[in-house]
Amino acid sequence: MSENPTLPESAQRVADLLAGIGHDRPVVMLPATGKTSAEAAAGLGCTVAEIAKSIIFRRVEDDVPVLVIASGSNRVDESKVAARVGKLGKADAKFVREKTGYAIGGVCPIGHAVKPVMLLDADLFRYDSVWAAAGHPHAVFNLTPQQLQAMTGAEVADVAQGPQAQA
């Protein structure tokens, strides 16, 4: 991975957002894709659980995007999310791009075109730091779960399927 002074446009937008809020860690580019949590973890040398993956749903009643930021090792329990935010529908690639401004695989937790309803996986708080997508499938940034919660204002919730995930 490298700190790249010539970031792709979407990743540079995230780097600028992070700098604007005083975040002191850079956006880094993975040598291979970080589209999946496993790919990102392999490129970063961390566990899959330390990847803060962004999953977008569509709230059926009003077409508002719902962003769940989950530990990479967890499958999101849609019924738990729906119980908190309302009935969910699938978000296709067009919906994700229109509502977030990012392509699937690079959805950043901040800087969305349309403010989403957000939930943050409580399991992320098991780790000193986590990695989140930075607007591009190869771009990520590091932060603490507490910083992630402060940046997003997301409600911390149990969103995982089944028993709580272990690292």
Asked whether the beta carbons of 11 and 134 are under 8 A apart, the reply is yes
* DSSP letter, residue 76: B
Instruction: Give residue 36's pLDDT.
Output: 83
Which residue type, as a one-letter code, is found at position 166?
Q
pLDDT tens for the chain, residues 1 to 167: 545 458 999 999 999 999 999 999 999 999 877 778 888 899 899 999 999 999 999 999 999 999 999 999 999 999 999 999 999 999 999 999 999 999 998 999 999 999 999 999 999 999 999 999 999 999 999 999 999 999 999 999 999 997 654 44
Dihedral in degrees, nearest 10, Cα atoms 18, 112, 12, 17: -20
Distance CA 68, CA 103 (A): 16
Max Cα distance, the chain (Å):
43
Question: 140 pairs with which residues across the strands?
Answer: 28, 133
Q: Give me the CATH code for the 2-157 domain, please.
A: 3.90.960.10
* DSSP letter, residue 60: T
Cβ neighbour number for residue 45 with a 10 Å cutoff: 8
* DSSP letter, residue 160: B
Asked whether the beta carbons of 162 and 126 are under 8 A apart, the reply is no
Which of 86, 93, 117 has its CA nearest to residue 107? 93
Distance CA 98, CA 102 (A): 8
- Domain ranges within the chain, ordered by starting residue: 2-157
Instruction: Give residue 115's pLDDT.
Output: 96
